[in-house]
Every structure is written in C-alpha cells, then in structure tokens.
C-alpha cells in the first residue's frame, strides 16, 4: 500500500524562505571575516605538514617484517598471511635454514616474501593471523612508486621497514 | 583381512546399540568402524584400517556395555523390548574390540570426553610448538583433535623433553622425533605391508623415540607411505618439505601412470604447479598405498625443458592449424605402406582409439607400442612400466605381443621402405632405431612433452600434455578401467593429445569427426569397442570399473 508522507506544517517565516537565506549568509560571512583576520585553519599544508604526530597507536600503515633482538627475521614462512590476505597481495616462497646456521632450530624461513602494495588494502589481517608476531603494520602510509615493480615490496625492503622489535614472545629458544 | 573372505558365506549380523540407537553390523566389524558407519567418528591415532591394532594411543576410548543377563543367561529386556546394558565402569578402546550381539556403545558420554581430554593432554606434554613450520599443519590429527577435544592451555610446568629433530631417516623421509606421538603406525606399516622391518621405538618412558635399525635406513620403495599414515608431522616427505602449505593445494583424483598397476592417487597442485602425489584408497587396486617411484615421478611436469610450441622443420610454428595441416599434407604425400606408427603404452584409451583412426585414415598397417619393462616387486610395482598396455592391445594399436612389430619398422626404415614415421609420446630410439636412422626419414611427425632423440630429428614436432594435464582413461594390468583427471593446464602452446590426433585425422581425411570434447571421443570409442560398451568417463567413477578382460600379467 502506498504510504503518504505527511508534509510538515510550515510557519509564515519558513514559507517566505528569506530568514533562512540570511541565517546561512551570516555563517558564511562570519567565516569570511575570521579568515580575513587570519584566525581560521581549514587546510593542512601536506606534505610540508603531516599527520604523523597525530596518528593513533593502532594506525594501520604499510605491513612490514620485523626482526628480533638477535637479528633473526621472525617470519618462519608459515604462509598464514598469504592465506588470509583478502586481496591476495602476499606471496611467499619458503626455504630451509641450513643445519649449520645459528638459527637452524627454526628450520624454516621465507626465501622470498613479497607484498604487492598496489593490492594491499591495509586491513591488518596478516598482522592478526601471524603466529610468530613477525608481521606488523607500521605507520608508513605514503607508499608510492613510479612502476609496478617499485610497488612490490620485496623481503629486503619489508625487513628494512620493519626494523627490530624486541619484547614480543621468543619461542624459538632452547626451552621451547 | 577377514572382511575379504573368498567363500560367499552368509554374513551374520549382530545388533549393536550406539549412543542409544540400534544398528546392525556384520560379525567381525571393529567397534571403531561400526561407530564410523553409524556416523559417530571416533578420534584415533594408532588405529589404521589396513594395519593391525596395537591399541597404544588410547585416543579411541568409548564406554562399552554388555547386555544384562538374567540368572538363566537370557538378556534382560527393557520397556522397548531391547536388551539392557551393564556398562563397564571405565572407558575401553574401540579399535581392538569386535562388535558382539547386544553390545552397547557410548561415544560421547562425559566419561569418554574426560578420557579423550586426558589422553590429549598427555600427548601434548612434550609436543613442540612447531605448527608454523610443520608440513603436517592443516592435515594433522593432533591439531584437529586438539581443537575438537583438547584444551587451550597447558598445565605443564617442567621443561619439555628434547629429542632429535630434522633426522634423515631415509633418502626420502625426514624424521622429527619431538613431534612423534609413538602411535607406531610407521613401524607396523614397514613390518606388515612393506616387509622391510627397519624402524622401531628405542629408549624408555618419555624418552621413547622412533629410530631406524643401526646401520640401516628407511630406504624401502614404500617409505613415503609412512609419511601419509603418520598422524602428526613426525615423518615428513623430504621432497615435499617446506614446498607448500597443504591448505593451498587443490586436490584432483587421478591415477599413477608410472607402471601397469595404476594406483589411485590424489594430485595436489596450486596455480598450475603440482606439489605432490598421494595414494587414494582403492581396495581393488592399491589398498591405501603407492610406491615412492610412482609418487615422485612427476617433477618432469615442470621441467624447464618442456616443449612449448609446435616446430615444423626446425622453425617454431605457433599456429597449430598450420603445423597440423603441413604435417598431414606431408604424410599424405607418402604412400600408406611407406608409413609406420610408433605409439605409446603411456597414452590414454581415447588417444589410442584416435591413433587407430589416424592409422586407418592414412591406410597405415604397421603400428605398435614400445614396451617398457623394469624390475617390479610383489607389493604394487609392476614389471610393465607402461600404464596402459592393456588398453593399447584392446584398441588394436599394439601388436598382440607389445613391440613385436617394431623390428619390421626398424628394418623398413633402414632399407628405405618406410619413408614416414609417426611417433606418439615415445622416443623411437628406445624402439631399436638410432638417431642416424631417423634422419633417413622424409617425414617424422612426433608428439612429445620433453625433448629426446626423436624430437631432435622430427620434421613436425607437436608438443602435447602430460598425465596430470589431461583427462582420459587407462586399463591396468588386471583389466580395471580407470580415469585420469586434469589437475593443471598444459604449459605454453602444448595441447591435449586427443586434440592433436583429431586435428591430424581431420586434416588427412579432409572431413570433420565432430569431436568437440573428450566425451565425444569416449562416446565414439565405447561404441566401436565391445569391451567398453556402455561406459563413459563419468560411469568409470573415482574407483574405476573392472572389465571382463584376460589379465595382462
């Protein structure tokens, strides 16, 4: 059944419309007046000025690979992030750590690890799913490049961006 | 196996109550199997239907009840007319117990749940937190049952027992003793099926671990089956190690084409790359096993040498139509009695049927397949390494003794009586010809997947598809018709063999065969072959069909 929207009853002032126009102009002219006196700051002058100091601690920027205090990249190439990634931006090629390496106990490491930053949607699921706390979304948000290849963050770049992040679990010690 | 009794005795059924519902099972059924058939899956580690039951993992515990008896040994009946039970006051393992008349089973009572939880806690005491680096993750029974029956936290405060990790227990198997839960499936497999009793448990208590007999290695041709049956990640395949996580793999049911046994397999691939082959249960062919030779015989699929484009007289000819047309025209220019066909026992029935059609279209009388034999064993591996010798015989491409016509082909080429040769999926130098003989031919048309002496001499090289890249059927040595399925796409411009053969035949006859899909070929083949009458690829099914054929071996 058709529903008739009841029309509001308008007063005479509302019907002639002019008072609303004047009220609107008052606001506009008020802004103009404040601006002329240099009291309004509407725009941030990016990139001279940046948001960085205002970013909340949970801000999700570019995903990176972090290393522990012993210099080991935490990633063990379990490929869960590759599995969970909604836009399928992550590609990992697992490899085996040779037996004579000092981190041989971990056995597995990512031979190749690439994140396609054209695809990445900064959802943070990779960070959430990681059982090794190896992947973190840092605050870097200005990811640019002049080619597709430059937008493919390879392992070295990801490790460099991630840096060292101590203080999280260390389960690959001898007492594991 | 008791269930495979040859005498057709009437099966005696017994009444069993499972979780309050009465079922009937043949006498001799294990309680764990009866519960599975009734839809109540019992978790298990050591039990495997193809092996003996040692009952050592204690995971499959259920509550059992014997029928209550009156003093005159009559079952006491309840209000529903069914026997009442005396429940045994402690849980029992269901894997080593056969069903009996009036037996009662509770698979999910609080006592059972408590027992499972306790068993799992014990199993996890020394289990390492290896899941992120463990190849079994995703198909690990310990992971699965921990989610289903375990608890999230550990109450264990002491240090875990350290055991050897990353041990090369055999050339193809890697052992991680810390992950082992000592179910002894591998020990029993090697003893009972592979008949090579080299592994066992050494040391005591929580230091017990799986180890190989000193001075020996797990080098049996069946060693990788231990990896399949290992419920955890203790035994892993060295070949598959760290290659790909299992949850990415797309599984395709197919058959192994490395010998005439035709073991049923699952091909696991991701994005057009095959990562592993595993056996698939078929009690009429391979039980649940396959040999390491066949299992690992797939790496050539991704060889960098794969032939990717048709080559006509030394020049790449990416236009298939053109390549096939010139091949057909040059073949037609040769008299029929000057042409011979060397086909392969590795071809599917459909391809062999089309080979026969092509030979007929050209008027060729001289055709055969190249026999391949090697040492076999009395478990699965056959001496005949052609997977479809029976099909080649049935469809008339092979001589009644495979290879009997080859000497005539060789002589014909050497004397110059044969001027054109068609080699399908074979290397003619394995048929007694030399590379010099091949250069005498005016036309040499060949289909192949990898370069060999024949492709080097070929005037027309047509790249074709390997076993994981095509559909079709094959007949194993016992006359069982089985199905191949496509797991990945052929690389480059390589084409399905049946399309190449249809193209050649159509170009020779200058008429259409009307085959648009492999199903059309199957239809024509089954209509023309009485032994295959009424069959189609879908009717063959996953487990194959036994044909009324004389056995090949």
List, for residues A44-70, the tens digit of each pLDDT value: 888 888 888 888 988 999 999 999 888
Task: Label residue B447 by pLDDT band (50, 70, 90).
Answer: very high
For B304, other C-beta atoms within 10 Å of its C-beta total: 4
* Strand (E) or helix (H) holding B87: strand B85-87
Looking at CA atoms only, how far is residue B273 from chain A in angstroms?
Answer: 13
pLDDT for B553 beyond 50:
no
Summarize the confidence of residues A153-164 as an average pLDDT.
94
Summarize the confidence of residues B483-491 as an average pLDDT.
96
For residue B248, give the nearest of A83, A99, A106 by CB distance.
A83
Chain A contact for B132, CB < 8 A?
A: yes
Task: Label residue B549 by pLDDT band (50, 70, 90).
Answer: low
The pLDDT value given to residue A69: 86
CB A88 within 8 A of CB A125: no
How far apart are the C-alpha atoms of B146 and B30, rounded to whole Å? Answer: 25
The pLDDT value given to residue B8: 64
Contacts of B242 in chain A (CB under 8 A): 77, 94-96, 107-108
End-to-end CA distance of chain A: 70
Task: Label residue B239 by pLDDT band (50, 70, 90).
Answer: very high
Interface of A with B in 124-143 (CB under 8 A): 131-132
Looking at CA atoms only, how far is residue B133 from chain A in angstroms?
Answer: 6
DSSP string, B120-151: HHHHHSS--S-GGG-TTTTS-HHHHHHHHH--
Q: What is the ipTM of this complex?
A: 0.84
Task: Label residue A105 by pLDDT band (50, 70, 90).
Answer: confident
pLDDT for B551 beyond 60:
no
Looking at CA atoms only, how far is residue A163 from chain B in angstroms?
Answer: 22
Distance of CA B260 to the CA centre of its chain: 12
For residue B286, cis peptide bond before it (omega within 30 degrees of 0): no
Interface of B with A in 190-229 (CB under 8 A): none
The pLDDT value given to residue A175: 58
User: Considering just the CA atoms, what is the radius of gyration of chain B in Å?
Assistant: 29
Q: What percent of chain A has pLDDT over 90?
A: 65
Closest CA to B490 of B458, B513, B462, B524: B462
pLDDT for B5 beyond 70:
no
Mutation test of the interface with chain B: which of A94, A98, A105, choosing the one with the most B Cβ atoms within 10 A?
A94
pLDDT tens by residue, B342-378:
999 999 999 999 999 999 999 999 999 999 999 999 9
How far apart are the C-alpha atoms of B291 and B277, rounded to whole Å? Answer: 11
CB A153 within 8 A of CB A62: yes
The pLDDT value given to residue B183: 94
Task: Label residue B7 by pLDDT band (50, 70, 90).
Answer: low
The pLDDT value given to residue B159: 85
* Strand (E) or helix (H) holding B37: helix B31-37
Summarize the confidence of residues A106-126 as an average pLDDT.
95
Chain A contact for B243, CB < 8 A?
A: yes
How far apart are the C-alpha atoms of B398 and B493, rounded to whole Å? Answer: 29
The pLDDT value given to residue B489: 95
Looking at CA atoms only, how far is residue B211 from chain A in angstroms?
Answer: 20
Distance of CA B147 to the CA centre of its chain: 30
Residue B24's DSSP bridge partners are B15
CB B497 within 8 A of CB B344: no
For residue B133, give the nearest of A82, A99, A107 by CB distance.
A107
Written as six digits, the tokens of B412 are 């014909």
Is A176's CB within 8 Å of B248's CB?
Answer: no
pLDDT for A172 beyond 80:
no
For residue B241, give the nearest of A96, A105, A132 by CB distance.
A96
pLDDT tens by residue, B489-511:
999 999 999 999 999 999 999 99
CB B468 within 8 A of CB B294: no
Cα B74–Cα B75–Cα B76 angle in degrees, nearest 5: 110
CB contact set of A166 (below 8 Å; sequence gap of 6+)? A68, A69
Chain A contact for B159, CB < 8 A?
A: yes
Closest CA to B265 of B426, B466, B467: B467
pLDDT for A104 beyond 60:
yes
Q: What is the mean pLDDT of chain B?
A: 92
DSSP string, B313-336: TTEE---HHHHHHHHHHHHHTS-G
Q: Of the given ranges (A145-149, B69-73, B326-330), which has the lowest mean pLDDT?
A: B69-73
How far apart are the C-alpha atoms of B121 and B389, rounded to whole Å? Answer: 53
CB contact set of A161 (below 8 Å; sequence gap of 6+)? A62, A64, A65, A138, A140, A153
Looking at CA atoms only, how far is residue A108 from chain B in angstroms?
Answer: 6
Helix-helix angle B110-124:B141-149, to 10 degrees: 130
The pLDDT value given to residue B552: 45
Contacts of A131 in chain B (CB under 8 A): 131-132
Contacts of B241 in chain A (CB under 8 A): 96
Looking at CA atoms only, how far is residue A81 from chain B in angstroms?
Answer: 11
pLDDT tens by residue, B64-93:
999 998 888 888 888 888 889 999 999 999
The pLDDT value given to residue A47: 86
Residue B383 is given by DSSP the state: S
CB contact set of A164 (below 8 Å; sequence gap of 6+)? A66, A67, A68, A69, A71
Contacts of B167 in chain A (CB under 8 A): none
pLDDT for A161 beyond 80:
yes
CB B271 within 8 A of CB B253: no
Tokens 């290896």 appear where? B130
Q: DSSP alpha helices (H): ranges in A37-168?
A: 80-84, 125-129, 148-151, 155-162
How far apart are the C-alpha atoms of A56 and B438, rounded to whole Å? Answer: 75
pLDDT for B2 beyond 60:
no
The pLDDT value given to residue A57: 87
Residue B162: CA count within 13 A, CB half-sphere: 6
Chain B contact for A96, CB < 8 A?
A: yes
pLDDT for A146 beyond 90:
yes
pLDDT tens by residue, B124-169:
999 988 899 999 999 999 999 999 888 888 888 888 898 999 999 9
Written as six digits, the tokens of B430 are 């394995």
Q: What is the mean pLDDT of chain A?
A: 90
pLDDT tens by residue, A67-87:
988 889 999 999 999 999 999
pLDDT for B294 beyond 60:
yes
Complete edge-to-edge strand list for the sheet that includes strand B235-237: B167-168, B173-175, B235-237
Q: DSSP alpha helices (H): ranges in B425-482?
A: 435-439, 453-457
CB A55 within 8 A of CB A103: no
Is B132's CB within 8 Å of A107's CB?
Answer: no
Is A106's CB within 8 Å of B133's CB?
Answer: yes
Contacts of B129 in chain A (CB under 8 A): 171, 176
Task: Label residue A174 by pLDDT band (50, 70, 90).
Answer: low
Size of interface A-B (CB pairs under 8 A): 43
Chain B contact for A120, CB < 8 A?
A: no
């Amino acid at each position: 059944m058709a529903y008739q929207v009841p029309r509001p009853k308008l007063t005479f002032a509302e019907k002639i419309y002019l008072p609303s126009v004047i009220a609107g102009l008052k606001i506009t002219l008020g802004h103009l007046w404040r601006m002329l006196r240099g009291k309004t700051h509407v725009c941030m002058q990016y990139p001279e000025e940046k948001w960085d100091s205002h970013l909340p601690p949970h801000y999700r920027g570019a995903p990176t690979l972090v290393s522990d205090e012993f210099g080991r990249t935490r990633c063990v190439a379990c490929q869960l992030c590759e599995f969970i990634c909604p836009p399928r931006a992550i590609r990992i090629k697992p490899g085996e750590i040779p037996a004579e390496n000092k981190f041989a106990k971990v056995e597995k490491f990512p031979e190749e690890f690439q994140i396609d930053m054209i695809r990445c949607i900064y959802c943070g699921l990779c960070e959430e799913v990681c059982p090794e706390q190896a992947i973190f979304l840092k605050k870097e948000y200005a990811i640019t490049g002049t080619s597709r290849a430059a937008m493919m963050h390879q392992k070295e770049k990801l490790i460099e961006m991630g840096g060292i992040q101590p203080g999280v679990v260390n389960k690959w010690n001898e007492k594991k | 196996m008791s269930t495979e009794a040859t005498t057709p005795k009437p099966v005696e059924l017994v009444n069993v109550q499972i979780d309050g519902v009465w079922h009937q099972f043949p006498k001799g059924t294990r309680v764990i199997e009866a519960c599975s058939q009734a839809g109540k899956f019992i978790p298990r580690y050591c039990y495997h239907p193809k092996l003996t039951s040692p009952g050592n993992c204690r995971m499959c515990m259920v509550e059992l009840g014997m029928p209550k008896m009156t003093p005159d040994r009559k079952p006491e009946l309840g209000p529903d007319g069914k026997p009442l039970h005396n429940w045994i006051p402690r849980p029992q393992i269901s894997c080593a117990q056969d069903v009996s008349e009036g037996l009662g089973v509770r698979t999910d009572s609080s006592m059972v749940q408590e027992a499972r939880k306790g068993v799992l806690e014990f199993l996890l005491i020394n289990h390492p937190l290896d899941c992120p680096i463990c190849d079994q993750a995703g198909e690990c029974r310990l992971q699965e049952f921990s989610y289903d029956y375990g608890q999230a936290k550990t109450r264990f405060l002491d240090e875990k027992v350290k055991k050897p990790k990353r041990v090369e227990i055999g050339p193809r198997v890697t052992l991680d003793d810390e992950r082992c839960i000592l179910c002894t499936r591998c020990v029993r497999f090697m003893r009972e099926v592979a008949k090579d009793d080299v592994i066992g448990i050494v040391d005591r208590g929580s230091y017990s671990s799986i180890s190989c007999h000193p001075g020996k290695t797990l080098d049996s041709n069946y060693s990788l089956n231990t990896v399949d049956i290992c419920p955890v990640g203790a035994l892993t395949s060295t070949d598959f190690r760290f290659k790909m996580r299992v949850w990415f793999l797309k599984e395709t049911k197919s058959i192994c084409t490395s010998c005439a046994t035709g073991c049923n397999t699952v091909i696991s691939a991701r994005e057009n790359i095959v990562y592993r082959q595993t056996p698939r249960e078929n009690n009429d062919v391979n039980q649940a096993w396959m040999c390491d030779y066949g299992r690992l015989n797939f790496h050539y699929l991704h060889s960098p040498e794969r032939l990717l484009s048709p080559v006509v007289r030394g020049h790449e000819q990416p236009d298939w139509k053109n390549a096939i047309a010139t091949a057909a025209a040059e073949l037609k220019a040769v008299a029929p009695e000057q042409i011979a066909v060397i086909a392969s026992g590795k071809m599917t029935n459909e391809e062999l049927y089309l080979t026969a059609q092509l030979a007929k279209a050209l008027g060729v009388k001289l055709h055969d397949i190249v026999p391949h034999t090697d040492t076999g064993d009395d478990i699965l591996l056959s001496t005949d390494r052609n997977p479809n010798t029976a099909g080649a015989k049935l469809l008339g491409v092979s001589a009644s003794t495979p290879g009997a016509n080859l000497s005539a082909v060789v002589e014909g080429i050497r004397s110059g009586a044969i001027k054109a040769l068609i080699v399908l999926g074979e290397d003619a130098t394995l048929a007694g010809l030399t590379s010099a003989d091949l250069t005498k031919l005016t036309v040499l048309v060949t289909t192949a997947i990898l370069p060999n002496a024949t492709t080097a001499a070929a005037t027309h090289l047509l790249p074709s598809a390997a076993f994981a890249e095509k559909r079709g059927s094959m007949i194993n040595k016992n006359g069982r018709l089985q199905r191949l399925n496509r797991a990945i796409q052929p690389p480059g411009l390589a084409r399905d063999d049946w399309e190449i053969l249809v193209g050649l035949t159509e170009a020779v006859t200058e008429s259409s065969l009307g085959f648009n899909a492999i199903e059309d070929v199957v239809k024509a083949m089954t209509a023309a072959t009485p032994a295959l009458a009424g069959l189609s690829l879908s009717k063959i099914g996953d487990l194959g069909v036994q044909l009324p054929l004389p056995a090949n071996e």
